[in-house]
Chain A
Amino acid sequence: MGPWRYLIGLCCFLQAPLAGADMPLLANSDFFSLNPTQTTIALEQPICMFKSAVNVYLIGIVAGAPNTPLYDGNKKVNASTYSGTQGGKTGPYIVAKLPNQQCINIQALSNMADPTQVQSILSKYVVRVGADVTCLTNPNFVGYCNAPLQGNTQYSFKYLFTDSGDIVQSETSWSLGITTVNGKASSTIDTWPGRRSGGMIVLTSILSTLMFFVFIAYVIGFAYSIANGSPAKEVSRHDTQTTAVLQKAQEPGEVTYSSALTGSERYAPTQQA
């Protein structure tokens, strides 16, 4: 039992600072893989972090802005708003005021795969910073404006746990810096094709070479046939051909005519003879 007591003691010792070091975290990246974007950041809501609170204030600030107090001497929340701090550049602002979720019926995030449950799980477990695009321009807007964030800017967040009278009961520490995505111009994409593919090199070089060889073969072939065949042979061949044709035209013609005239007569005697 002895060692266990020390272990428990160690756990209690660790528990205290760890509990104090609770801070807003990015939503589970297993499910929210595209987070953060240029203007939005999805954070986990502080479920079961401080059970007795009624409301939770999410405070945001741009890294490096003066950290003005979030509540007055009576611990009443008096932080500024998005428009009052230029979106967190001049000090912390209230991103949203959320009801502190009951620490019961915790649902697994994997249930979000069910389209009928995703809405309720999202509203219960996740807060999306930068989710309201109209509140800045809408003159009738009441409440805390959760306007889109700046791109390529580092933000920190903090939760304030209050009772129903906005009296701060507890708070988390500031989160680590979360940087929104730096949107690049599409013209900065390098479209240089880079190295040619091996297939293209093989195909082009082989085809060029083959064409060269075929061309050479043609030149040699024609030259050979002209030099070898044409000057002497072809002329003589044409001569013989013409004479042959002439002979053929004359001789068989006569035969045909004669046979046509007296075919059977001439044929019969020949056979007899």
Chain B
Amino acid sequence: MAEKGSSGMVACIVFGNIVILLSGLALFAETIWATTDPYKVYPILGVTGKDDVFAGGWIAIFCGFSFFILGVFGILAVQRGSRTMVLTYLVLMMIVYIFECASCITSFTHRDYMINSNVIKGQMLTYYSDSSTPQGRQITSVWLRMMLEKNCCGVDGPLDWVDYYSYFRQSYNETTAPWPLWCCQRDGNFQILNQQGCIVGLSSYVYQQGCFAHISNAINSYTWGISWFGFAILMWTMFVMLATMYHYTKMN
């Protein structure tokens, strides 16, 4: 029922949809990766209330799978030459497109809030070692794990604990623990190398570098996957949608 002159257009739309469905599947997989939070930094975002990086990730899971389904559907619709199916395809694609735009923008906007060492530092000082609140417990476990595994201390280094008052400082005096003992260098069995050397701040017994690089790296990886990859798919999808719209107007 499509005009004969638009068979080239049909081939283009089919190719475009193949790309959409493949990259939709990839987006699906990648955003599942992001939302499972392999770097275990979710509480840092969650306690601040800026966890919408992950909200964007969840939306993108839905959108990725929808792109996959709609890509298949779009190929069928154009091949069958059914006006109704193409119309359905266009409407559904528009809905998914809007959602995916929202996902990209949300994710990236909230990344900007969190890629700020001061936010994370203030939160760490407020909650670290506070076992009386759920936020405190979450933040504490994140930091324990991170400092132990990544061999880092504080957000920007051990001085974070010296320069500011904190919940930790109220609980432990500075003479015996100027910084959490998780900042102390440990041997292969995670035993503190030398506690005396650690608490006087000897550079070979305290991790000097902060954990911010690790946190920002994690958040950036998530955002990259959710936002930039989604953005690339949206750019491509836009052309396919415009071509399909054009094709639709020529169908009779």
Contacts and interface: CB of A to CB of B under 8 A. Distances in A.
Interface string A177-194: 000010111111111011
* Residue in B113, B200, B234 with the greatest tally of chain A CB atoms within 10 Å: B200
B88 to A, nearest CB: 13
Interface string A104-132: 00000000110100110010001010111
B159 A122 contact: no
Per DSSP, are chain B's interface residues mostly helix, strand or loop, or mixed?
helix
Interface in A27-85: 30-35, 37-40, 42
Interface stretch (A1-9, A92-100, A221-229): A221-229
A233 B174 CA distance: 85
B190 interface: no
A40 B199 CA distance: 10
A229 B101 CA distance: 32
A40 B104 CA distance: 49
A204 B238 contact: no
Interface residues on A, range: 35 or more
A197 B112 contact: yes
A221 B175 contact: no
A36 to B, nearest CB: 9
A197 B115 contact: yes
B77 interface: no
Given A32-B200, A119-B196, A213 B238 contact: yes
Contacts of A118: 194, 196-197, 202, 205
Interface string B156-172: 00110011111001000
A193 B114 CA distance: 8
B208 A33 contact: yes
B201 interface: yes
A35 B196 CA distance: 14
